[in-house]
Chain A
Amino acid sequence: MLTELFPNIKYDDLVEAVYETFYMTIISIIGTCIIGLLLGLLLYLTTKDGIWQNKYINFIVAAFVNIFRAIPFIILILLLFPFTNFLIGTIRGPNAALPALIIGSAPFYGRLVEIALKEVDKGVVEAAKAMGAKTRTIIFRVLIPESMPALVSGLTVTSIALIGYTAMAGAIGAGGLGSYAYYFGFQRRDFDVVFLCTIIIVIIVFIFQFIGDFITNKLDKR
């Protein structure tokens, strides 16, 4: 039945494309999570009346975040071609998409992290200070655990944006479902390929959202 509905699909290629999409998404989620947390923490800690209050660092980080959030993703990939080439040694394939994916979404996640940390009750941070906690303890034992549900739901939102980005990157040669839909579907006028790729991407998005919601609910003891 599947061959009747989607006559032009080559299943080996499809499996390969799904694998590449997952690969790009998951590696870039990990990178985004780490860099986004760093950016968000820096924004939160260096803000006025923050623990590391510092106008200049705050300004620089905020400027970096705002600039990279402002650049449309498709242009960002093109701008980063020299950087990617230097880092990965090629501008084609899933690996070549990673720098752009991470640099494109980490600032976005950084802002979400900042918002999540701001939601942590100031009194709890103060209580930890009154107990004689080091800043490191406050970050890892208070701020991050107390904002965990918001951090996870923020990461869920970011992951879904990332899945969209991988498809966009695919269209200019990164591989994955976007690439497959564009080169083997759209350009050959085999629209059944485009259609199936769309369905698979939607399913992936649903799975990510479901997992994200599940973890968020599990973590939230409020």
Chain B
Amino acid sequence: MISIEGLRKVFKLNNNDITAVDDLTLTIPEGEIFGVIGYSGAGKSTFVRLLNRLEEPSSGRIVIDNQEITALNSKQLRLARQGIGMIFQHFNLLWSRTVEANIAFPLEIAGVPKEERARRVQELIDLVGLSGREKAYPSQLSGGQKQRVGIARALANNPKVLLCDEATSALDPETTNAILNLLVDINQKLGLTIILITHEMHVIRKICNQVAVMEQGRIVEQGNVLDVFTHPVQSVTKKFVQQIMGTNEEEDDITNLIDNYKDGTLLKLQFIGEATNQTLISEIAKRFDIHLNILQGKITQTQAGGYGTLFVQVMGEQEEIDRAVSFIQEQTSVEVEVIRDVN
């Protein structure tokens, strides 16, 4: 769907060359919600603006939907852009136009006839949940509503790709969730490929299937969101994962747990993906003659299922406990680790 080869952008600033995007190669399959995460200055915003050539690439190739974007002349590029929606951190609505006129704008640009335009605008307003606010001006809307107008506007010409440049960064957490749900909804209903730039890991966690971590203009880590979550390699990625999992505290917690709970075996259960859907705890409690005490844990949901760890204290006969542990190891997809055996 989208393939990027050797993409590079160099800014010249007072005779200094600043490489914002450095030799970036990437393939994004159709219908994907692809997240790009990085701290400010990592080049992620430049990257997304290169995709529709709001910034001209210094070198490299971009192909979107079998069309080589980097080879188009300015007229062809204008037409191609009509098939690539984009939403922005600060919404970028025209204050002089009402909600419906804002949404109609890309249709005017594409030369859609008037009646057709009105019909499509109404459709989009219903899709993003703004019915009743058609005649309002942007200044009369909340941030979340403004971004809904932005999304409706971006979808007006039935694009194949939606670029989101920090689309939720100016919104409060609750509104962010609502907007993210809308994006997932659109992705499923319309089969749209979404590329989402953010510095917030929970945004990635909530809606992305694939994630790329950017640092200094390069992608330093990339893959399935769950894989990146469970096995972060680079230190940047680890920091981002900590944003939502707080892994740093875990080390201290384990020693605390060992000190505080002197009895029984302590187990660390790691749930990845579908494992969280299994009724693991109640199942072992029924199958084996043991008692379970949940000490600490955190499970969080991602697009590919849940992910998290649980610390449990197991009391009972040593033999029975061993059988339970091997059952978890062999019969389920939950990873188990014995932190401390019964002495």
Interfacial residues, chain A to chain B (CB-CB below 8 A): 121, 123-124, 126-134, 137, 141-142, 145-146, 148, 219, 221-222
A124, B109: Cβ atoms closer than 8 Å:
no
A131, B54: Cβ atoms closer than 8 Å:
no
B321 to chain A, nearest CB (A): 60
Q: Which residues of B contact A129 (CB under 8 A)?
A: 54, 81
Q: Is B39 an interface residue (CB 8 A)?
A: no
B42 to chain A, nearest CB (A): 20
Q: Is B139 an interface residue (CB 8 A)?
A: yes
B109, A130: Cβ atoms closer than 8 Å:
no
Name which residue of chain A comes closest to B140, CB basis.
A221
B95, A221: Cβ atoms closer than 8 Å:
yes
Name which residue of chain B comes closest to A145, CB basis.
B96
B82, A131: Cβ atoms closer than 8 Å:
yes
B92, A141: Cβ atoms closer than 8 Å:
no
A121, B105: Cβ atoms closer than 8 Å:
no
Q: Which of B92, B95, B153 contacts A222 (CB 8 A)?
A: B95
User: With A137-B109, A141-B105, A221-B139 in contact, is A130–B52 under 8 Å at CB?
Assistant: yes
Sample of 22 A–B contacts (CB below 8 Å): A126-B54, A126-B92, A127-B86, A127-B153, A129-B81, A131-B86, A131-B106, A131-B109, A131-B153, A132-B79, A132-B80, A132-B81, A132-B106, A132-B109, A132-B110, A134-B78, A137-B109, A142-B94, A146-B95, A221-B95, A221-B137, A221-B139
Q: Which residues of A contact B105 (CB under 8 A)?
A: 128, 131, 141
CA distance A132 to B84 in the complex (A): 9
User: With A126-B54, A221-B137 in contact, is A133–B109 under 8 Å at CB?
Assistant: yes
Give B54-90 as 1s and 0s: 1 = Cβ < 8 Å from A's Cβ atoms.
Answer: 1000000000000000000000011111101010101
B169 to chain A, nearest CB (A): 14
User: With A132-B80, A132-B82 in contact, is A146–B92 under 8 Å at CB?
Assistant: no
Q: Which residues of A contact B274 (CB under 8 A)?
A: none
Q: Which of A123, A141, A219, A221 contacts B108 (CB 8 A)?
A: A141
A124, B93: Cβ atoms closer than 8 Å:
yes
Q: Which residues of B contact A124 (CB under 8 A)?
A: 92-94
A111 to chain B, nearest CB (A): 22
**Number of chain B interface residues as a range:** 20 to 34
B54 to chain A, nearest CB (A): 6
Q: Which residues of B contact A134 (CB under 8 A)?
A: 78, 109
* Given A128-B109, A132-B79, 18 additional A-B pairs, CB 8 A: A121-B92, A123-B88, A127-B153, A129-B54, A130-B81, A131-B81, A131-B106, A131-B109, A131-B157, A132-B77, A132-B78, A132-B81, A133-B78, A133-B109, A134-B109, A146-B95, A146-B96, A221-B139
Q: Which residues of A contact B138 (CB under 8 A)?
A: 221
CA distance A123 to B54 in the complex (A): 11
Q: Which residues of A contact B79 (CB under 8 A)?
A: 132
CA distance A36 to B157 in the complex (A): 36
Q: Which residues of A contact B52 (CB under 8 A)?
A: 130
B109, A221: Cβ atoms closer than 8 Å:
no
CA distance A128 to B92 in the complex (A): 9
Q: Which residues of A contact B137 (CB under 8 A)?
A: 221
Name which residue of chain B comes closest to A142, CB basis.
B94
User: With A127-B86, A132-B78 in contact, is A145–B94 under 8 Å at CB?
Assistant: yes
B27 to chain A, nearest CB (A): 23
CA distance A221 to B281 in the complex (A): 59
Q: Which residues of A contact B86 (CB under 8 A)?
A: 127, 130-131
Q: Which residues of B contact A142 (CB under 8 A)?
A: 94
B206 to chain A, nearest CB (A): 25
Q: Which residues of A contact B84 (CB under 8 A)?
A: 130
B88, A127: Cβ atoms closer than 8 Å:
yes
A189 to chain B, nearest CB (A): 54
Q: Which residues of B contact A131 (CB under 8 A)?
A: 81-82, 86, 105-106, 109, 153, 157
- Enumerate the 9 nearest inter-chain pairs by beta-carbon distance, A residue then B residue, closest first: A132-B81, A127-B92, A123-B92, A132-B82, A132-B78, A221-B137, A131-B106, A130-B86, A145-B96
From B54, B84, B88, B92, residue with most partner A Cβ within 10 Å: B92
Name which residue of chain A comes closest to B78, CB basis.
A132
Q: Which of B54, B77, B96, B106 contacts A148 (CB 8 A)?
A: B96
User: With A126-B54, A127-B88, A137-B109 in contact, is A146–B139 under 8 Å at CB?
Assistant: no
CA distance A222 to B82 in the complex (A): 27
CA distance A141 to B106 in the complex (A): 11
A211 to chain B, nearest CB (A): 20
